[in-house]
């Protein structure tokens, strides 16, 4: 009901005085133009949760674009229009920005060219959103400043730490909301209601219709924001893991692999990080790996998977005796392949761990490979230039990795003992 709660105090506490002043000015203009204006979405949610958030979204019951243009003029700011979304951002000279959106019935926009532009009232706008905690508005008009509009009991759900989907078709309309839900659960220590979980179960077939680009960009946000082990468990519990990551395996082994990655090898690059995380669920099985190859979006990571498949097969099928032995197969492999393979082997049985630590040694040594002999040195030593040089250098690399060669004199010793005799 209108007027039951007011968040003026929270606004004064969490918004900077400058931002608050701009919001108030927008409210004054709305009164002058005789339109209603509300703060909405994430900002209201976070104010109610007593958390900072400076992303101000304002919904106008009317034409937000013309409102924003007038407002920018009034405060001598700039306006940036996003015509197709009926949204405009106004930025003050001090760099404070506010997004203005026209209230609408369709959350998902039709192409701008369509003539049926439906303005709706705030209630209809709120009713198209994902969860009750995101469907709360607060008036910014001077008369009712801070008054909360809570048609869907979002405030009560927030108090009960309950994540409640707004309507039956919410996940069918947009299955990535399941992933948003998992993020909100983690971020606020909330829990989905039983009804919400049941509606997820009903929306499984819609997940299949999402593009892999969409799935991956949303999953990436989940893994960045939450503990990936926790979110994999949650995805698994909700029964949606095989829909978002087809053919993946979530079991003791893959969990250990992911954990090993997170604790010992985690990288900062978001794309690579995402790759390591999902690859952990595919890496132990050839068939899964080839499925992963079809899912991946970048050429670089598809190459890694191809290399992993070869590496995995070959190193388990013959007895690798030394780190240098990997060089024949892996000299052209990218670092990610070697790191991922180490992670995979280190969580296996004793024999796999043995292979894993040799591979790790190989990787470290390969990175810091110090060559003790140049072509010039070989020439001076009376070895005639030719294709033999390439062979010598490569074999020397292997010997250096295995620490059989550690300076120039041991290098020449090795060349004479092992390389020249063979080639004659």
CA distance linking residue 241 with residue 245, whole number of Å: 6
**Smallest distance from the beta carbon of 145 to ligand CTP, in angstroms?**
21
Pairing of strands 97-102, 87-91: antiparallel
**Smallest distance from the beta carbon of 147 to ligand CTP, in angstroms?**
19
CA distance linking residue 7 with residue 14, whole number of Å: 11
**Smallest distance from the beta carbon of 195 to ligand CTP, in angstroms?**
17
Name which of 6, 54, 60 is nearest 29 in CA terms: 60
**Smallest distance from the beta carbon of 90 to ligand CTP, in angstroms?**
17
Compare residues 96 and 165 and give the one whose CB is closer to ligand CTP: 165
Interacting residues toward ligand CTP by CB under 6 A: 41-42, 107, 129-130, 134, 174, 176-177, 180
Specify the DSSP element, H or E, that contains 377: helix 375-380
CA distance linking residue 262 with residue 281, whole number of Å: 13
**Smallest distance from the beta carbon of 192 to ligand CTP, in angstroms?**
15
Compare residues 41 and 77 and give the one whose CB is closer to ligand CTP: 41
Compare residues 174 and 272 and give the one whose CB is closer to ligand CTP: 174
Comparing every residue's Cβ against ligand CTP, the nearest one is 42
Compare residues 42 and 348 and give the one whose CB is closer to ligand CTP: 42
Compare residues 137 and 258 and give the one whose CB is closer to ligand CTP: 137
Q: What angle is formed at CA 129 by the lines to CA 128 and CA 131, rounded to 5 degrees?
A: 135
**Smallest distance from the beta carbon of 371 to ligand CTP, in angstroms?**
50
Secondary structure (DSSP) of 275-337: HHHHHTTTTT-HHHHHHHHHH---HHHHHHHHHHHHHHHHHHHS---SGGGGHHHHTT--HHH
Q: Rounded to whole angstroms, what are the CA distances from 145 to 3, 10, 38, 148, 228? A: 10, 12, 9, 9, 40
Compare residues 19 and 361 and give the one whose CB is closer to ligand CTP: 19
Which residues on adjacent β-strands are paired with residue 175? none
């Amino acid at each position: 009901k209108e007027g039951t709660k007011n968040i003026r105090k929270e606004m004064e506490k969490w918004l900077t005085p400058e931002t608050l002043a701009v919001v108030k000015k927008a409210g004054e203009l709305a009164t002058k133009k005789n339109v209603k204006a509300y703060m909405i979405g994430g900002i209201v949610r976070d104010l109610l949760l007593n958390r900072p958030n400076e992303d101000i979204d304002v919904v106008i019951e009317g034409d937000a674009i013309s409102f924003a243009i007038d407002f920018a003029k009034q405060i001598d700011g700039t306006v940036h229009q996003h015509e197709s979304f009926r949204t405009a951002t106004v930025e003050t000279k001090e760099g404070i920005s506010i997004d203005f959106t026209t209230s609408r019935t369709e959350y998902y926009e039709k192409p701008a060219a369509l003539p049926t532009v439906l303005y709706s009232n705030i209630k209809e706008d709120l009713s198209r959103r994902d969860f009750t905690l995101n469907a709360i508005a607060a008036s910014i008009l001077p008369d009712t400043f801070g008054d909360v509009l809570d048609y869907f009991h979002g405030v009560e759900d927030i108090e009960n730490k309950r994540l409640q989907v707004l309507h039956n078709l919410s996940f069918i309309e947009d299955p990535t909301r399941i992933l948003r839900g998992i993020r909100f659960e983690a971020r606020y220590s909330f829990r989905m209601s039983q009804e919400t979980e049941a509606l997820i179960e009903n929306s499984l077939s819609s997940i299949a219709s999402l593009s892999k680009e969409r799935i991956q960009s949303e999953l990436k946000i989940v893994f960045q924001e939450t503990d990936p082990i926790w979110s994999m468990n949650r995805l698994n519990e909700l029964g949606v893991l095989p829909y978002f990551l087809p053919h993946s395996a979530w079991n003791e082994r893959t969990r250990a692999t992911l954990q090993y990655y997170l604790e010992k090898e985690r990288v900062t690059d978001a794309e690579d990080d995402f790759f390591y995380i999902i690859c952990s669920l595919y890496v132990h099985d050839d068939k899964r790996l080839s499925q992963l190859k079809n899912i991946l979006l970048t050429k670089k990571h598809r190459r890694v998977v191809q290399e992993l498949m070869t590496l995995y097969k070959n190193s388990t099928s013959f007895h690798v005796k030394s780190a240098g032995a990997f060089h024949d197969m892996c000299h052209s492999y990218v670092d990610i392949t070697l790191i991922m393979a180490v992670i995979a082997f280190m969580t296996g049985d004793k024999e796999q761990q043995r292979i894993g630590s040799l591979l790790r040694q190989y990787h470290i040594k390969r990175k810091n490979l110090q060559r003790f002999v140049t072509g010039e040195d070989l020439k001076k030593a009376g070895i005639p230039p030719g294709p033999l040089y390439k062979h010598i250098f490569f074999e020397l690399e292997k010997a250096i990795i295995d620490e059989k060669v550690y300076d120039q004199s041991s290098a020449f010793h090795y060349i004479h003992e092992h390389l020249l005799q063979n080639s004659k």
